[in-house]
């Protein structure tokens, strides 16, 4: 039997949680936090807001980023798959980079561009939030390697080879048509040229077959900039299976966990699929369009009866845990998809102010501060530096 003194000496669970919450805020403020996928440029191109100030909409703005300790959000230069072959992909990509540059020009006391790992670290020392850039969908390359150099010069430091549909580079995980059976011949050349130039290869969104071809070709570690773990979402090819994660890690790469509920929770996926199936059935039965008032009323009523099932912070932590148990803490990081997954973000991870919640979760699960630092940015900066060093020597 424990003595009264012994019982009193054991810390209360709530007290531990409070201590970890306070420690999480400290870690967030003193450690570089890099998030490899935030869709601010496309959001602002659609509906501009001054993100140097607090905004009512969206998941990112400067005050919330400072509160959350975010230092290096990769601005996603996203082009829809529908622009493939139209000649408009490059136009839009340049336009979105203009948006990022304009944000920096308007608020040089808050934001700075970052073309290298050194510039990220220098910006942190100067109290600035870095805006490195990643291109989501390689469509703007438009089959011309000169465009790869063009976008590198403009600051793009990773390219997601495809998006929702197959393009001239790669098949897509979302596309049932697989015309290239992986990478196209141009795609295979592009991977090699990205290695030489110092652009990280992003395997999020591409088909499994394309992933294995990238891994066979690339001479540098690759990233999955915003993917989660297929173990928890069987059949969802957009996430990575255990064999892929092992190979990614074996070659030194990283998987950056996407926070979207339908990436994290099978229950969320099934809930959303049932909702979209009901919408489609209503449209067909009543012969109404997607933007019709009738469909809006139906959807509102449906969601009142059957609310969306959000993932939880613990669900997200489970994805990190799975990767770490599988391949080690050196091969995972953050690719939230803030401003890219609509209203599907998990409870406790609703915007860029919420990184301390994630850190507290790691502390509650027994992670050391050194391991947390690797997850927050150390792993990503290591891979990015390896890609830079390879390019400098070739």
What H or E segment, with its residue span, contains residue 214? helix 208-217
pLDDT confidence tier of residue 13, bands split at 50, 70 and 90: confident
**Per-residue pLDDT, 305:** 97
pLDDT category at 121 given cuts 50, 70, 90 is very high
What is the reported pLDDT for 372?
A: 98
pTM of the model: 0.95
pLDDT in tens, 288-309: 999 999 999 999 999 999 999 9
* Mean pLDDT value of segment 147-157: 98
Fold of 19-265+310-392: TIM Barrel (3.20.20)
pLDDT at 390 over 90: yes
Task: Check whether 335 has a pLDDT greater than 50.
Answer: yes
Q: Which residues contact 297 (CB under 8 A, 6 or more apart)?
A: none
Residue 296: per-residue pLDDT = 96
- The DSSP call for residue 171 is -
Average pLDDT over every residue of 138-142: 98
pLDDT at residue 8 in the model: 54
What does the pLDDT average to over 203-220? 98
pLDDT of residue 14: 86
Q: Does residue 1 have a pLDDT over 90?
A: no
Contacts of 11 by beta carbon, 8 Å cutoff, 6+ apart: none
Query: Does the pLDDT of residue 2 top 50, yes or no?
Result: no
Q: 9 falls in which pLDDT band (50, 70, 90)?
A: low
Share of residues in the chain with pLDDT > 70 (%): 97
Question: In the chain, what percentage of residues exceed pLDDT 90?
Answer: 95
> Across the chain, what does the average pLDDT equal?
96
- In this prediction, residues 171-177 reach a mean pLDDT of 98
Angle at 278 between CA 277 and CA 279, to 5 degrees: 90
For residue range 85-119, what is the model confidence (pLDDT) as tens digits?
999 999 999 999 999 999 999 999 999 999 999 99
DSSP string, 246-284: HHHHHTT-EEEE---HHHH-HHHHHHHHHHHHHHHHHHH
Rounded to 5 degrees, what angle do the CA atoms 16, 70, 40 make?
A: 135
pLDDT tier for residue 3 given thresholds of 50, 70 and 90? very low
At 17, the pLDDT band (50, 70, 90 cuts) reads confident
Q: What share of the chain is helix, strand, coil (3-state, %, to 5)?
A: 55, 15, 35
């Amino acid at each position: 039997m424990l003595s009264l003194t012994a019982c009193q000496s054991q810390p209360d669970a709530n007290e531990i949680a409070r201590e970890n919450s306070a420690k999480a805020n400290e870690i967030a403020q003193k450690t570089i936090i890099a998030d490899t996928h935030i869709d601010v440029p496309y959001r602002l191109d659609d509906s501009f807001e001054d993100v140097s100030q607090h905004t009512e909409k969206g998941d990112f703005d400067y005050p919330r980023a400072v509160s959350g300790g975010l230092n290096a959000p990769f601005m996603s230069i996203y082009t829809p798959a529908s622009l493939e072959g139209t000649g408009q992909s490059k136009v839009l990509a340049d336009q979105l980079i203009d948006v990022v540059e304009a944000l920096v020009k308007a608020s040089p006391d808050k934001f700075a561009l970052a073309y290298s790992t050194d510039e990220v670290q220098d910006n942190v020392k100067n109290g600035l939030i870095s805006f490195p850039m990643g291109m989501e969908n390689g469509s703007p390359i438009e089959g011309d390697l000169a465009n790869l150099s063009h976008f590198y010069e403009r600051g793009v430091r990773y390219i997601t080879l495809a998006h929702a549909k197959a393009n001239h580079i790669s098949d897509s995980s979302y596309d049932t048509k697989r015309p290239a059976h992986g990478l196209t011949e141009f795609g295979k050349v592009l991977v090699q040229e990205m290695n030489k130039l110092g652009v990280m290869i992003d395997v999020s969104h591409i088909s499994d077959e394309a992933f294995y071809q990238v891994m066979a070709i690339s001479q540098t570690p690759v990233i999955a900039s915003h993917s989660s773990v297929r173990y928890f979402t069987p059949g969802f090819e957009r996430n990575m299976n255990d064999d892929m994660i092992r190979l990614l890690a074996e070659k030194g790469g990283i998987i950056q966990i996407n926070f979207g509920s339908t990436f994290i929770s099978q229950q969320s996926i099934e809930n959303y699929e049932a909702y979209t199936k009901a919408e489609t059935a209503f449209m067909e039965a009543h012969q109404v369009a997607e933007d019709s008032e009738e469909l809006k009323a139906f959807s509102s009523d449906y969601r009142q009866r059957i609310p969306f099932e959000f993932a939880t912070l613990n669900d997200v932590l489970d994805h990190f845990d799975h990767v770490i148990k599988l391949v080690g803490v050196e091969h995972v990081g953050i690719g939230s998809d803030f401003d890219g997954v609509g209203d599907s973000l998990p409870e406790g991870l609703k915007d860029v102010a919420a990184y301390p919640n994630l850190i507290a979760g790691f502390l509650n699960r027994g992670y050391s501060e050194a391991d947390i630092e690797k997850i927050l940015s150390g792993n990503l900066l290591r891979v990015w530096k390896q890609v830079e060093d390879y390019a400098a020597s070739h």
